[in-house]
Structure 1
Amino acid sequence: MKRYIILSLAIAVLIITIIHPVLARMEDLQQTSDQKSIGDLGNAGDQKNKSDGQNSGDRESMDRENISYRENRSYREEMNYAREKASKMMEEGKSMRQEREMEGMGFLSSEDNSYGEYVNFAIDRQNSSILNYAINGTPLFNISCDFNFRSIESEGSQTRIEDTSGETIIRIHDNPSAIINIMTKSNGSASSVRHIAFALASGVTAAKEDSLIRIGSGDVVGYVGGANATSISTGGGQVKIEMPANSYAFFRAAPVNLNMSYNLQKKVSQEIEDNGVGMEIAFGRNRTVNAINYSERMNLSIREMEKDRIRLSINSSETAGRIIIMNLDNASLVIGHGERLRINYDSEPLDCGDNPDMIFNGTDRPLCWISSVQDSKGQIMIYVPHYSQHTIEILVEPETTPAEPAGTAQGARTVTLADDGKTITLEVNETFLLNLGQEYDWNISIDDQTVISREVNVLVVRGAQGIYRAHKPGRATLIAAGDPACRKSVPPCAVPSRQFRVYVVVSGGPTDTQKAPAFEAVSVIGMLMTALLLARR
């Protein structure tokens, strides 16, 4: 009787060892099938709803289109005129800048017109207004003020406007984010509230998003925000700002030279409102630099700026503004295939994370985040826990790993939209390129970044979302939520958002279910031999 019990136990262990991987694999296939079925049902429902409403809505739709065409004809003509005027101003500025061999960020002033690499505008001194403000040839707004301009000075990539009382200062920056800073202060007298209005150009939309006002036209999207009792509202084709003494307001666009998540850029604007950002620095062509001080007592010194390194020093006497943002153009640093960025903080290398939220949340140690680097363009954010004098270095170096020569990371495997819902298997230290294209604004999340994560500072091709590396055996799900890029156009398209999902299995450990590990087979054979010996006795 004893021998039969032992034999039964051994056989049971053998069956469990062999059957378990098969069942796990079937579960994965079933999960994928269920997700596909749910998607098919949703699509079928959408088609049915469209069919039900099509016949009844056709006649009304035709009537609306006829009325809309007549009413919007003058609107479209006005919008086209504004765009043509802004485009003409941009071309005139380019021609004048080329004649004077002016490259990189910086304003060229001619009479009351200012021509920058990214930003163009005109000054109406008599009416204290800023006219025809445009980014990359896209007209956005005119700015009118209820105070008189005393001085207008342009130096490099910044134009500074001060009112007659010296209590209000407007700074306009020529950089990829086209930042406008407005600050009020008190000189000891009873200061009145300042009123500033952004009159939107034709085709420009404005909507309230949390505490910000989102302004958009085509591919250009920016946010208006404020701090210290600043009141901001929108309506009637305007964005209105009321500013008491010692308050602050700003306009900041998502960097027009980068293909980045607008949700991330909105978060940056919210951090500026909350005094979380101390300084934003843009590095451009011809060694041009533009620095925006969000913290009044922060100082910057550029020590070195070469094709393969940038070295700078920062210091501040304030505790706020612990985030430093740096935008790289494709001529400020040259990053080739097989190369990566490294960040040194006070001569010590920083391990940059994949999630920018860690920068916004902060900690008691310095942190950094680097966006996907495309065409040598990218964004860097550094969290400074304690201010004094700090040195930051951005270096270009070869990308090498123990298991992979430099330059081969993008040649191994490419994951595209065609892989939606699939399971891919990787070995430890193996990489893949995620290339979902540019038709959607993608936001990537991974449920277990200890299994796979993005290589944070490696050059990738345009339209790709990054290179991802397998770190240890296990399972992880990569989800990409995409908002169509055409939603930023005017009028916005009705294309729905979509979600991409891929399941990643990293082999080499107990969580790998494709085959039984060798040590399990050895243990089963040993148990069977032991059982046979006992049974023979």
Structure 2
Amino acid sequence: MKSKIIGIVISSFLVALLLTSLAMPGLVQAMGMGQTAQTNFCGDNDQNSSGFQSGKQMTQEQIRERIMEMCQIGLQRRLFGPIEYDNGTVTGFFIKFNFNESTGTITNYSVRYGNEMLRVFDNIEVSDFTAKNVKVVGSIFVASDETHRIIAHNNPTALLHVMTNSSAEISIAIPEDFKIEQINSNNTCLDTIYRITKDDFVGAIGISNGTASFEENEEGTYLHVSGNDTHLFFRMRPYFQETGLSMHAHLMNAVIEGRICAEIRVMVHNGDAIYDAQIYDHRYTLRIVSAVQNRVTLQVASEQHEGRLFLFVLDNDTINVSNQLRVKLDGNDVVRANSMSEILNATGTSTSDARYYGFEIDGLQYLLVYVPHFSEHTIEISSLSASSGIPLTWIAVAVIGIGAVVIAAAVLVKGGRKQ
């Protein structure tokens, strides 16, 4: 095998490994990594990340420009948008806030609410958090150290994740004009769920492996969370001039109830693809395998046995809904549900119980796929007019792990058999 490596920005270990593989081509294969691992540094778990895919050879600068261009197109289609970070200020169309790297504190977390930005949290403090890695990649903001991680998604859900790998205290200050209340749920992953509202705004805070308590004083209302290996997320119901509020309400409730375990936003444009993945139940993982026009394939896995829903959000250029859709689970055709109610309440544990249901909101295609049981599965979504296409390899835009954020967006490896 002959490998050509163009423009690498990656950890010193992987640099050494790749350089060694040039001198000893069989080494990477012998270590079980293979060519795919050289081009995909997302590892086994792409959860809460952003990725870019292209079959073209590009320089590092060309990749950056293309990612920015595609994020701008994604913004026009209301899928996701580019995000900027400058001197402690995080700015996107859907989210905006300030971040203190020394204390790991978020202040003035604001979200897109119609034509305005609405401040949802005055501040979010995480104990003993000094951000050592702060990155903005594609549509996400990431800050982390060895035991803490904050991830914010610049998309219509304004999703915010706070995760710890040790004992930690999380304190959230909520503006006085918001109402927050604990709600009962059948969610088996989250210990506590709160609904936060103001006028037509609806959001939810989900907490796993943490004990929550309220404090009210002259300064306002505080939600305190303490625990080990705590996962906390905030998600809002997208709000665009009252478009699709009923459907968005159903989806929001399905997230709260733990029915939807992940949401994946994918866009294909001129042969390139970009995605924004967000996990609501950390016990489930996903990996985007490939995305070409009219076909998206991913792998999902979990040690849990309960069936779960995956939500895909796609634009018309990615999946042409004027043609008949086909959804497959492990190569078997999935039956279309007759209604939103049927898919949201789907049950069963055999492959024949798998279902899907699609609908449109404001020019975007929303597709729910019910996977009835778990180990590891492949989901394929395609239009019957889809061409065979050439499977492309994902170039990792972000590798997110506790204690490390590795940016590999500038890596392209092309392999071929030496004649």
TM-score range, shorter chain: 0.5 to 0.7
State the 1:127 CA deviation.
Answer: 4.4
Query: Is 2:306–2:372's contact at 8 Å kept on the other side of the alignment?
Result: no
Give me the whole-angstrom Cα distance separating, in 1, the residues matched to 2:139 and 2:283: 18
Residues 103-133 of structure 1, C-alpha deviations (whole Å, 9 max, x = no match): 1234222222222342222212344321222
Quick check: 1:271 aligned with 2:257?
Answer: yes
Q: Match of 1:128?
A: 104
> SS at 2:250's partner residue?
helix
State the 1:224 CA deviation.
Answer: 0.8
Query: Is 1:297–1:316's contact at 8 Å kept on the other side of the alignment?
Result: yes
Q: Match of 1:280?
A: 263
Residues 204-253 of structure 1, C-alpha deviations (whole Å, 9 max, x = no match): 43333335322234543210121234325475643513131023221111
- Unaligned 5+ segments in structure 2 are 1-64, 75-79, 185-191, 386-419
Q: Match of 1:316?
A: 301
State the 1:328 CA deviation.
Answer: 1.9
Query: Is the alpha carbon distance of 1:253 and 1:110 closer, same or farther for their aligned partners in structure 2, counting shifts above 3 Å?
Result: same
Q: Which has the larger radius of gyration?
A: 1
Q: Decide which of 160, 175, 194 is 1:180's aligned counterpart.
A: 160
Give me the whole-angstrom Cα distance separating, in 2, the residues matched to 1:329 and 1:239: 37
Residues 1-38 of structure 1, C-alpha deviations (whole Å, 9 max, x = no match): xxxxxxxxxxxxxxxxxxxxxxxxxxxxxxxxxxxxxx
TM-score of the pair, normalised by structure 2: 0.59
Q: Decide which of 169, 173, 176 is 1:198's aligned counterpart.
A: 173
- Unaligned 5+ segments in structure 1 are 1-96, 399-537
Amino acid at match of 2:335: D
Query: Is the alpha carbon distance of 1:284 and 1:207 closer, same or farther for their aligned partners in structure 2, counting shifts above 3 Å?
Result: farther
Q: Match of 1:364?
A: 349
Quick check: 1:109 aligned with 2:85?
Answer: yes
State the 1:167 CA deviation.
Answer: 2.6
Q: Decide which of 351, 356, 362 is 2:335's aligned counterpart.
A: 351
Query: Is 2:237–2:249's contact at 8 Å kept on the other side of the alignment?
Result: no
> SS at 1:364's partner residue?
coil
State the 1:378 CA deviation.
Answer: 3.6
Give me the whole-angstrom Cα distance separating, in 2, the residues matched to 1:376 and 1:157: 20
Q: Match of 2:277?
A: 291
Range with greater deviation from structure 2 (234-243 or 217-226): 234-243
For 1:72-83, list aligned pairs within 5 A. none
Query: Is 2:147–2:164's contact at 8 Å kept on the other side of the alignment?
Result: yes
Query: Is 2:209–2:228's contact at 8 Å kept on the other side of the alignment?
Result: no
Give me the whole-angstrom Cα distance separating, in 2, the residues matched to 1:254 and 1:178: 9
Give me the whole-angstrom Cα distance separating, in 1, the residues matched to 2:177 and 2:244: 22
Quick check: 1:386 aligned with 2:373?
Answer: yes
Hey, which of these two has a bigger chunk of strand by percent? 2
Q: Decide which of 99, 120, 136 is 1:154's aligned counterpart.
A: 136
Amino acid at match of 1:181: H
Query: Is 1:356–1:369's contact at 8 Å kept on the other side of the alignment?
Result: no
Query: Is 1:198–1:240's contact at 8 Å kept on the other side of the alignment?
Result: yes
Residues 80-121 of structure 1, C-alpha deviations (whole Å, 9 max, x = no match): xxxxxxxxxxxxxxxxx99x7451234222222222342222
Give me the whole-angstrom Cα distance separating, in 1, the residues matched to 2:265 and 2:330: 21
Hey, which of these two has a bigger chunk of helix by percent? 1
State the 1:394 CA deviation.
Answer: 2.4
Query: Is the alpha carbon distance of 1:239 and 1:196 closer, same or farther for their aligned partners in structure 2, counting shifts above 3 Å?
Result: same
Query: Is the alpha carbon distance of 1:231 and 1:295 closer, same or farther for their aligned partners in structure 2, counting shifts above 3 Å?
Result: same
Query: Is the alpha carbon distance of 1:149 and 1:385 closer, same or farther for their aligned partners in structure 2, counting shifts above 3 Å?
Result: same
Give me the whole-angstrom Cα distance separating, in 2, the residues matched to 1:265 and 1:317: 22
Query: Is the alpha carbon distance of 1:226 and 1:332 closer, same or farther for their aligned partners in structure 2, counting shifts above 3 Å?
Result: farther
Amino acid at match of 1:120: K
Give me the whole-angstrom Cα distance separating, in 2, the residues matched to 1:114 and 1:209: 31
Give me the whole-angstrom Cα distance separating, in 2, the residues matched to 1:378 and 1:260: 15
Q: Match of 1:249?
A: 232
> SS at 1:149's partner residue?
coil
State the 1:175 CA deviation.
Answer: 2.2
Amino acid at match of 2:173: F
Give me the whole-angstrom Cα distance separating, in 2, the residues matched to 1:299 and 1:222: 24
Residues 63-83 of structure 1, C-alpha deviations (whole Å, 9 max, x = no match): xxxxxxxxxxxxxxxxxxxxx
Give me the whole-angstrom Cα distance separating, in 1, the residues matched to 2:199 and 2:325: 32
Q: Match of 1:168?
A: 148
State the 1:279 CA deviation.
Answer: 2.4
Query: Is the alpha carbon distance of 1:225 and 1:383 closer, same or farther for their aligned partners in structure 2, counting shifts above 3 Å?
Result: same
Residues 464-507 of structure 1, C-alpha deviations (whole Å, 9 max, x = no match): xxxxxxxxxxxxxxxxxxxxxxxxxxxxxxxxxxxxxxxxxxxx
State the 1:138 CA deviation.
Answer: 2.5
State the 1:310 CA deviation.
Answer: 3.2
Query: Is 1:170–1:182's contact at 8 Å kept on the other side of the alignment?
Result: yes
Query: Is the alpha carbon distance of 1:230 and 1:378 closer, same or farther for their aligned partners in structure 2, counting shifts above 3 Å?
Result: farther
Q: Match of 2:37?
A: none
Quick check: 1:207 aligned with 2:189?
Answer: no
Quick check: 1:139 aligned with 2:113?
Answer: no
Give me the whole-angstrom Cα distance separating, in 1, the residues matched to 2:306 and 2:84: 31
Query: Is 1:230–1:249's contact at 8 Å kept on the other side of the alignment?
Result: no
For 1:493-532, list aligned pairs within 5 A. none
TM-score of the pair, normalised by structure 1: 0.47
Q: Match of 1:221?
A: 202
State the 1:290 CA deviation.
Answer: 0.8
Residues 409-433 of structure 1, C-alpha deviations (whole Å, 9 max, x = no match): xxxxxxxxxxxxxxxxxxxxxxxxx
Give me the whole-angstrom Cα distance separating, in 1, the residues matched to 2:141 and 2:262: 17
Q: Percent identity?
A: 19
Quick check: 1:259 aligned with 2:279?
Answer: no
Query: Is 2:306–2:373's contact at 8 Å kept on the other side of the alignment?
Result: no
Q: Match of 1:514?
A: none
Q: Match of 1:373?
A: 360
Amino acid at match of 1:270: I
